Amino acid sequence: MNELRAAAEDWLTQDPDPATRAELRALLDADDEPALADRFATRLEFGTAGLRGELGAGPNRMNRVTVLRAAAGLTTRLLTETPTFDSPAPGANGSGAIDSGTSGAGSSGGAGRPLGVVIGFDARHGSERFALDTAAVVTGAGLRAWVMPRPLPTPVLAFAVRHLGAAAGVMVTASHNPPRDNGYKVYWGDGAQILAPLDAEISAAIDAVGRVDALPLGGPGDWTVLDDGIVDAYLEALDALAGLPVDGPGDLSVVYTPMHGVGLDVFLRAFERAGFPAPAVVAEQAEPDPDFPTVAFPNPEEPGAMDLALALAARRDADLVIANDPDADRCAVAVPTSEGWRTLTGDEVGGLLGEHVLRHTHGDDRLAVTTIVSSSLLGRVAEAYGVRFAESLTGFKWIMKARTSPGDRQVFGYEEALGYSVGGDDGVPVRDKDGIGAALAVAALAAEAKRDGRTLLDLLDDQARRFGLHATGALSVRVEDRALITDAMARLRRSPPTALGGRTVTHVDDLALGSDTLPPTDGLRLHLSGADGRARVVIRPSGTEPKLKCYLEVVLPANDDLAAVRSRATASLDAIRTDLAKALRLS
C-alpha cells in the first residue's frame, strides 16, 4: 500500500486536471487500496491500436497525464524521423490547403520545414482537451501541429494525414466503446495506423518520459486550427469513389443514424454532393452525446442498437437503413424483407461493395483486400474480375499494408466487423475504414438496384448463384483468466479436432508460424470438407478483451432454391459451432 500511495501522491503533484485530482485525493483519503491498485499497479499499454481505456486517474486510465506522456513519446520518436512522403512538405493554411509556411524548430523535412502532426477528436468526454494537450506537447517539442476545427469522424483525420503531408496523425476516440472510455489512435505519414516495430518504439519513448509538468508546452497561438476546408477536401476525394455520380433513381429513401456520434454533418454533406435525397435522420440519436443515452453500447453490431433506426424506416417505408458508429469509421446496413427489416452482416456488405467497386473501376493493377477472418467470397469475386487479391491479418492496420506486388493499387478493403475502405480508379482516398465513404457506396449500389427494379437482397442472391453461398458465423467465449485462453490454444495445437459439425478437418494452419504472405500471429485455421461443400474455422485470442474468438464459414453450391441452401448453411454453422464449443473446453 505504501508504494501505491507514493505513486498516487506523485501523480497528484503533476496532474493538471482538477477532476482527476479530486478523484485520486478521495481514494487516498479513504485508503481504498483495491481502487488504487486498479489504477496504479499496472498501466494502459501502448500498441498498434494506440491507447484505449476507462477515463479516470492513474496510469491505468485515460486522463491528461496519460495523454501528455503519450504525446511526448510520440514526438520523441518523430524527432528521429526523416520524411520520405510523396506529398508536399508539411505546411497548411486554415483551409487545409498546402502552403509553404514554416514554424518552430526541431527535426525538419527539408527546406527547414518541421515535421507535423495532425490531431483530430470526437465528442467523447475529454476528447477535445486531450487533443489540445497533444498539440501543446507537439509544438513545445518544435514540431508543427494542425488541430481539427471541431469533433469530426475518424476517416477525416486519416485522410488529412496524407492531404497535409503530416508525419503522423492522432485521433482521440474510443470509437464504439462504452461512454466511460476514451482512446488515442496513432497514424503514420502514409495515412495508415501504425504497426510493429513503431508501436514498441513509441511505447519505449513513453516509458522514458519524466514528469509531465516539466514538459515544454506550446500555447494556442503555436498550432494551426484548421477550418472546414479540410472537410471540403475529404468530401471532394469521396466524389471519385466507384459508382459516383449516382447512376440510378433519385428517390432512394434512406434512414440514417450517427448513433450519438460525430457523423451527421459530414454524412449529410456527402449525400447531397452525390445527388441523393436527404435521408431521414433518427432524431433521438442525431446530435453528439458522450453518454449515448438511447443505446446500451454505441455499436451498430450490438443487439438493439439500431432499433430506433429500424422503427423509423418501417414507418417511412424506406429502402435502406445506414448507421455509423460514434466516430463514423464503421458502417452498418439494413434492408426491408417480407418479414421485417434485416441487418446485413459485415461479410454480406463486404461482398456487395467489393463487386460494386470492381465493376466500376479499371486496370490490371487493382487490388482488393480482406482479412483471414472475413469471408472468402471477395477472393472469388476478385478472380472473376481479373483483380489482384490479398488476405491480411485482422484489422485495418494490416489491410492497408497488404500487397501482392509493388505495383498494387488498392481499390477496396474490408473486414467483417463493419469496416470498409472504398476507392475508385485513383485508389482508396482513406487508408483506414471509412463509414462515410462506405455509406455513399452502399447507397449508390442500392440506387442502381432500384433503377433496375431490384434490391440488395437480389444482388446477394446473384452472388450466391455465381460464386456459391458463403455463409459466415461466429463463436466468442469470454473468460475470467486469460491463461485459460493460452491453455486452450496450446491444447488445440497439440490435438486439433478431426471433425466438426459432421465435416472432416482436412488441414490445420498454425498461423503462429507465419507464411509467405502473412506475418506470424496467434491463431489456427481449420479447413473442413463435407459432401455438400467446404467450411473453414479461424480461432484466435482477442487482442483487446479476455475472449477467444472463432470465425466460421460454410460455402455451399447454390441453385434456384436459395432458401433451402441458406437453411442448410445455417444448420451446418450451428453444428460446427456446437462441436467447436465442446472442443474448446472453456465453458
Summarised one tens digit per residue, pLDDT across range 267-304 is 999 999 999 999 999 999 999 999 999 999 999 999 99
Instruction: Check whether 438 has a pLDDT greater than 70.
Output: yes
Per-residue pLDDT, averaged over 439-452, amounts to 97
**Residue 108's pLDDT is what?**
41
- Which residues lie across from 340 on neighbouring strands? 337
Q: Same topology for domains 42-102+112-227 and 235-343, yes or no?
A: yes
How many secondary structure helices (H) and strands (E) does the chain include? 17, 21
User: Are the CB atoms for 579 and 481 separated by under 8 Å?
Assistant: no
User: Are the CB atoms for 427 and 362 separated by under 8 Å?
Assistant: no
Q: Is 403 helix (H, G, I), strand (E, B) or coil?
A: coil
Going from N- to C-terminal start, the domains of the chain cover 42-102+112-227, 235-343, 346-464, 468-584
Query: How many whole angstroms separate alpha carbon 496 and alpha carbon 477?
Result: 18
User: Are the CB atoms for 404 and 393 separated by under 8 Å?
Assistant: no
- Provide the whole-model pTM: 0.93
Q: Kindly report the average pLDDT of the chain as a whole number.
A: 93
Instruction: Check whether 72 has a pLDDT greater than 60.
Output: yes
Q: Which CATH architecture has domain 468-584?
A: 2-Layer Sandwich (3.30)
Does domain 346-464 match CATH 3.40.120.10? yes
**Residue 113's pLDDT is what?**
53
Cell of 402: 497488404
List, edge to edge, every strand of the sheet that includes 419-422: 388-392, 366-371, 409-415, 419-422
Q: Binning pLDDT at 50, 70 and 90, where does residue 249 land?
A: confident
Q: Binning pLDDT at 50, 70 and 90, where does residue 326 land?
A: very high
Query: How many whole angstroms separate alpha carbon 1 and alpha carbon 16?
Result: 24
User: Are the CB atoms for 49 and 86 separated by under 8 Å?
Assistant: no
Instruction: Check whether 379 has a pLDDT greater than 80.
Output: yes
Query: Residue 187: which of 270, 120, 282, 90 has the closest Cα?
Result: 120
Helix (H) or strand (E) holding 168: strand 168-172
Q: Binning pLDDT at 50, 70 and 90, where does residue 181 land?
A: very high
Segment 518-561, tens digit of pLDDT = 999 999 999 999 988 999 999 999 877 789 999 999 999 998 89
**Residue 531's pLDDT is what?**
87
> Strand pairing of 116-121 and 168-172?
parallel
Lowest mean pLDDT among 121-125, 128-132, 246-250, 498-502: 246-250
Does domain 235-343 match CATH 3.40.120.10? yes
User: Are the CB atoms for 181 and 54 separated by under 8 Å?
Assistant: yes
The label of the residue with cell 518523430 reads 78
Q: What separation, in Å, do the N-terminal and C-terminal C-alpha atoms of the chain show?
A: 36
Helix (H) or strand (E) holding 518: none
Lowest mean pLDDT among 105-109, 391-395, 397-401: 105-109
Segment 5-42, tens digit of pLDDT = 999 999 999 999 999 999 999 999 999 999 999 999 99
Segment 101-138, tens digit of pLDDT = 333 333 344 444 579 999 999 999 999 999 999 999 99
In 355-512, the DSSP E strands lie at 366-371, 388-392, 409-415, 419-422, 469-478, 499-500, 503-510
Q: Within 13 Å of residue 353, how many CA atoms lie on the same side as its CB?
A: 36
Chain length of the chain: 587
Per-residue pLDDT, averaged over 451-461, amounts to 97
Per-residue pLDDT, averaged over 202-219, amounts to 97
Query: Residue 413: which of 468, 286, 141, 397 has the closest Cα?
Result: 397
The label of the residue with cell 498546402 reads 98
Residue 567 appears among annotated catalytic residues = no
**Residue 429's pLDDT is what?**
98
**Residue 92's pLDDT is what?**
40
Q: Which CATH class is domain 42-102+112-227?
A: alpha beta
**Residue 109's pLDDT is what?**
43
Cis previous bond, 245, omega within 30: yes
Residue partners of 100: CB distance under 8 A and separation at least 6: 89, 91
Q: Which of 103, 108, 127, 175 is catalytic?
A: 175
Query: How many whole angstroms separate alpha carbon 536 and alpha carbon 528?
Result: 6
Segment 565-581, tens digit of pLDDT = 999 999 999 999 999 99
Query: How many whole angstroms separate alpha carbon 489 and alpha carbon 387?
Result: 35
